[in-house]
Structures are given as C-alpha cells and as structure tokens.
Amino acid sequence: MKRFINSKSDIVTEALDGFLATTPNAFLARLDAYPHTKVIVRTDWDKSRVTIISGGGSGHEPAHAGFVGQGMLTAAVCGEIFASPSVEAVLAAILAVTGDAGCLLIVKNYTGDRLNFGLAAERAKAMGYKVEMVIVADDVAIPGAHQPRGVAGTLFVHKIIGFLAEQGASLQQLAQAANELTRRIFSIGLSLDTCTVPGNQRQDYLAATEAELGLGIHGEPGVAKITFAAAASLMQTACNEIEKAIGDDHDHYALILNNLGSVPPIEMQVLAHSFLQTTLSEKVGLVIGPAHLMTSLDMNGFSISLLQLAPGDKEALFADVTVASWPGARELHGTASVSVVASPAEDRPGFEPSENKAIKATVLTVCNTLLAAAEDLNQLDALIGDGDTGTTFGNAARYIKDALEQLPYATDASLCFALSDLLARHMGGSSGALMAILFAAAGEAKEQAASWPSALMSGAQRMMFYGGAKQGDRTMLDALLPGLEALQAGSSLAEAAKAAREGADGTADMTRAKAGRAAYVPGASLNGVVDPGAEAIARAFAAAANNS
C-alpha cells in the first residue's frame, strides 16, 4: 500500500520532528538522545509540581506527543509503531522533568508498556525519585476480562490528572485520583477495516458485509465480527456494549467520540448524530470530539469512551490547555444540543394550482424518465466526474413529482417560475442553479407573450451568461441548444429530440471540456464518453417527444 513516508525505520522520528517544528505550542522539545530515546517534554514545566508522563507505541497520533502541554502531560515517551518504548527512554523522561514533587506515569494496559514503564519506575525510585504508576484498562469489549486493554478513555485521565497537577496536587493525591478515575471509564471500538502498518502487507480479513466490534488499537482482532449496517445501527451496537458495562446506577457521563484513523469528518458527524438518537445519549452531559485522539494508523473505525462524572470532573475537562490536539468539551443535551434559529422570511411567489393536462403529462413523463435514468447517468458521470449527475437530476424529478398536483399548468409564466423555485431549492449543484436560471428567464419571456421555444431559448442564453459556457464546451448546452434551435425553426418535438440526441452524442468526440468538473479531466479520459448533463437533456427531449 502506498504511503507518504521516506523509510519505515525513520517514520516516527521524522514525524516527531515535523510535529515539533509545526506545533503552535512553543514550549516543547525533544531529549537529545535522539533517535533511540524519543521523548517529547515541556520546557516550561515547574518541577515543584508533580510530573505527568504517558506514552507507548507510535501510530496513535495525536497521542501521545500531541497531548504534551500546559494542563495535560509533562512528557510523552514514544516507541516505534505499536511497540512499547524502552526502559531507558522512559527513565530518561522521568529524570528530565521530575523534581522533588515526584512523577506519575499513566500507562495503558498492555504488557510491554506495563513492564517497560514499571521497570523504569523502579529504577527511578532506586535513584531517589518518587514515582507512582496508574494503569488504564477501559476497554469493555470482553466482559469480565482479567486484563482489559487501555484505549481512548486514557485521554480522560490525561486531562483530569493534568489539570489537578497544574493545581498543585501531591503525588499521593494524584495517584489516588487517577486510580479512582480509571474505574469510572468505559470504552469500546468498532471498525469497518483494520489498520495497515507502514511497510507491512495489508491483512484484509473483513468481508464487505462485515464490521468488527471490540477491536484493539494495534490492529489486533476484535471480539466479534458483526454484520455491516447503517451508521445508526452500528453506533447502537457499540452503545449496547457500553450500557451492559455501566449498568443503571448512574446517569451523568462525559463522552469521547474518537476517530480511529481514516473515517472522513462527515461520517464522524453522522456517527455523532447517530449517538444522539440512542438512549445512552440521555445519560451524557458533555462530549469531547468527534476528533482524532487515540488513533490506530489508518483504521476505518471509531471508539466511544464514557466517563462517569464525579464532582470536579467537569471543571477539569473544560479547563483551557495549550494542547492543540485537545478539541475541548461541549455541554450535550441530546438533540436539544442543536441550536435552531429562524430563517429570514423569503418572499416566495404563491401559485394557484391549475390544469393543462397535456403539459402536466409532459412534466410527469420527463420526471419519470430522469428518475429511471439516474443510475445510468451516475455511471456515466463516474467516468469523468464525481458520479452524481443522475442523483442530481433524479432529486429534481422527485421533488417536482411530489408537487405535481400543486403546479399552475394553465399559466405558462407561473409554471416556469414554480419550476424554477423547486429546482433552486431541491436540485442542488451547478446543474440545479443552471436549470433554475433557465426556467426563471423563460418565465420572464412568457410574461412577454413569447412562444415556448423562444422562452426556453431566452432561458438558455441566461444560462450561458451566468454559467460562462457555450455550445461546444462539452456541457448540457450541447444537447439543449440544438434541440431548442430546432423548435425555434418550426421543427417538431421529435425532430428537436433527434437534434438534442445528436448534440449529446457529439460530446463523446470532444476531448476537451471547457466548463464543469470535466474541464479538469484529461482528454484521454473524456474520449468516447458522452457528457452526462447532455445525456440527461437528450433523454428529457425524447421523453417530451414521446408524450406529444
């Protein structure tokens, strides 16, 4: 699999240097025993306070280095990808930033991290340092597991304990608070695909119909393969597992919605919306995310972590930090969290329904034709664009059909204005705007008693003015203009449809588009492919002709 790396052996050190060079936090540095000791530290730390150190294998960015800063970690110890850092690296971090107040290590429950951080702690103690270690084991994927894994819930510990350290809490107080805090955190992950370790072969063990529940953050298999479903269903599945773990004793929680790596932002927002539809959301008072927090390289999945809130937790979670990777917290009150304000009043023209059976039948036929052609048009557009032409024209046809009985068919100008209004509101994309312009201008011409061919040609000319395209630019105009010119010359609808079809087919020989998304497509990709907008217009002409 292709990657933006220079070499597998240098990926972590180069990434950390890139991070340090670009982070807005100016008070960060790395220890000089690079690259064998990959430790990021605060340079503004007051050693009279307890040091907070965390870390582990890399590949979970922005964790762990991304959370070093005022209000969170004092230092982060980074291993190679998915590999625990060495004892020497952890010890170097402790010695670099720890004063008389001592050091608290926050470690996720993985054997390598426990052993290496633990041995470093013992060595530091032998040198006279005060060191305590807290182990985070928040994964609820396997009920009753003897060694639950530590996953994204660790961020709750970083934030709350980091806040308390800034306030001057003692090492004993912080260790006690951290251990108590870990018992109130519950997490689970769900993915559609595993991660890919740079330089390694991708393991595709999930079928297209499968998702994975309860996975770890190192690409290890989940507790169960489940049937792939809509986002709401998958989110509900994850929430069901959390609800089993938390029981019914409490109803005040904070949520971390974590992107495990490669879920697009729009899908993470869909997942946030899906969470708000669950009964679990009724127990959640604040949310962190959706955001990349504790990732697993490019894993196409998410995790949810819940913290049972105790006095003082909200203040700690809302406290400001100098950590750019921390997205902040927000109060959450179910669907009421979405603010709604009134839209400005728009003076839309009102239309009285009226009948002209011939025109109504033509409108219905054209709509049905475009709906039936949606998949063909999408496939055609996918060859040269973003594959949505059929959906765009289909949406327009669907909304016009829904309004079919309310349209003013007996008054040509009013019908044009009504169609323009529907297309402007519901069709979307540049095609929607262009078609709305066409019918608005046609309506104006109809008010001046223009014929249908002349009125529609006026609309096409307005389209060209606003859209900047002309015939020969490989757009819908290459079918629209020949059809309208034929009608203006007195030809029948059937002859106009033939002209539109010839115009559309002619776009397949145009290897350069001068407008629309196809303008950015190489000529070789355009050759032999009919412009999808022109194809839609040609089919609309044919439908109108067949109904005449």
- For 260, the token pair is 């495990």
pLDDT, residue 74, reads 98
pLDDT tens-place string over residues 227-283: 999 999 999 999 999 999 998 878 899 999 999 999 999 999 999 999 999 999 999
Q: By three-state DSSP, how is residue 496 classified?
A: helix
453-459: long-range pairs with CB below 8 Å, 24+: 453/484, 453/487, 453/488, 454/488, 455/412, 455/416, 456/484, 456/487, 457/484, 457/485, 457/488, 459/416
Averaged over 463-490, what is the pLDDT? Answer: 93
In a domain, 210, yes or no: yes
Sign of CA dihedral 347, 352, 358, 364: positive
Q: Does the pLDDT of residue 341 top 90, yes or no?
A: no
Residues 547, 367: contact at Cβ < 8 Å?
Answer: no
Q: Does the pLDDT of residue 526 top 50, yes or no?
A: yes
Sign of CA dihedral 410, 412, 416, 421: negative
pLDDT band at residue 403 using 50, 70 and 90 as cut-offs: very high
Residues in a beta bridge with 487: none
Number of alpha helices (DSSP H) and beta strands (DSSP E) in the chain: 18, 13
Instruction: Mark whether 63 and 115 lie in a shared domain.
Output: yes
Averaged over 146-155, what is the pLDDT? Answer: 90
In a domain, 288, yes or no: yes
Sign of CA dihedral 161, 260, 110, 138: positive
Instruction: Mark whether 434 and 542 lie in a shared domain.
Output: yes
Averaged over 81-97, what is the pLDDT? Answer: 96
The residue written with tokens 């119909």 in the block is 209
CATH code of the domain in which 531 resides: 1.25.40.340
pLDDT > 70: what percent of the chain? 95
Indicate yes or no: pTM above 0.85: no
- For 268, the token pair is 């993470």
Say how far apart CA 231 and CA 229 lie, in whole Å.
Answer: 7
In a domain, 485, yes or no: yes
Averaged over 157-184, what is the pLDDT? Answer: 97
For residues 510-537, one letter each, b for 16 or more C-beta atoms within 10 angstroms of the residue's C-beta and e for the rest, the string is beebebbebeebeeeebeebbbbbbbbb
Instruction: Mark whether 299 and 383 lie in a shared domain.
Output: no
Helix (H) or strand (E) holding 51: strand 51-58
pLDDT, residue 210, reads 93
pLDDT band at residue 147 using 50, 70 and 90 as cut-offs: confident
Instruction: Mark whether 324 and 384 lie in a shared domain.
Output: no
Instruction: Mark whether 390 and 270 lie in a shared domain.
Output: no
Averaged over 28-37, what is the pLDDT? Answer: 90
The residue written with tokens 């003082």 in the block is 312
pLDDT band at residue 198 using 50, 70 and 90 as cut-offs: confident
In the sheet that 284-291 helps form, which strands lie side by side, from edge to edge?
A: 224-227, 210-213, 185-191, 301-308, 253-259, 284-291, 329-331
Nearest Cα neighbor of 133 from 157, 107, 113, 153 is 107
In a domain, 2, yes or no: no
Residue 107, amino acid: V
Nearest Cα neighbor of 245 from 135, 142, 134, 152 is 142
Averaged over 508-518, what is the pLDDT? Answer: 68
Across all residues in the chain, what is the average pLDDT?
91
Q: Which residue has the higher pLDDT, 498 or 510?
A: 498
Instruction: Mark whether 275 and 421 lie in a shared domain.
Output: no
Q: Does the pLDDT of residue 338 top 80, yes or no?
A: no
Averaged over 402-423, what is the pLDDT? Answer: 94
Q: Does the pLDDT of residue 402 top 50, yes or no?
A: yes
Tell the burial category of 1 from Cβ atoms under 10 Å away from its Cβ (0-12, 13-18, 19+).
exposed
Instruction: Mark whether 363 and 487 lie in a shared domain.
Output: yes
In a domain, 348, yes or no: no
Instruction: Mark whether 256 and 311 lie in a shared domain.
Output: yes
Residues 24, 70: contact at Cβ < 8 Å?
Answer: no
Question: In this structure, how many other beta carbons lie within 10 angstroms of the beta carbon of residue 190?
Answer: 23
Instruction: Mark whether 323 and 409 lie in a shared domain.
Output: no
In a domain, 344, yes or no: no
Q: Does the pLDDT of residue 221 top 70, yes or no?
A: yes
Mapped to the 3 state alphabet, what secondary structure does 214-225 carry? CCCCCCCCCCEE
Averaged over 434-441, what is the pLDDT? Answer: 94
Residues 180, 285: contact at Cβ < 8 Å?
Answer: no
Residues 518, 531: contact at Cβ < 8 Å?
Answer: yes
C-alpha pair distances (Å), 62 with each of 56, 109, 286, 406, 509: 12, 19, 21, 55, 50
Largest CA distance in the chain: 100
| Number of domains present in the structure of the chain | 2
Q: Which residue has the higher pLDDT, 520 or 456?
A: 456
Instruction: Mark whether 307 and 365 lie in a shared domain.
Output: no
User: Residue 532: which domain range?
Assistant: 357-547
Instruction: Mark whether 377 and 508 lie in a shared domain.
Output: yes
Sign of CA dihedral 513, 516, 520, 522: negative
- Residue ending a domain, among 314, 331, 348, is 331
The residue written with tokens 């999808």 in the block is 532
pLDDT, residue 386, reads 73
The question of whether 146 is a catalytic residue gets the answer no
pLDDT, residue 38, reads 95
Averaged over 130-137, what is the pLDDT? Answer: 97
Instruction: Mark whether 318 and 455 lie in a shared domain.
Output: no
Q: Which of 64, 158, 218, 292 is catalytic?
A: 218
Sign of CA dihedral 467, 451, 423, 414: positive
Nearest Cα neighbor of 430 from 381, 383, 362, 472 is 381
CATH code of the domain in which 106 resides: 3.40.50.10440
In a domain, 489, yes or no: yes
Q: Does the pLDDT of residue 42 top 60, yes or no?
A: yes
Averaged over 326-332, what is the pLDDT? Answer: 94
Question: In this structure, how many other beta carbons lie within 10 angstroms of the beta carbon of residue 266?
Answer: 7
The stretches of 448-476 forming alpha helices (DSSP H) are 452-467
In a domain, 453, yes or no: yes
Q: Which residue has the higher pLDDT, 333 or 352?
A: 352
pLDDT, residue 520, reads 47
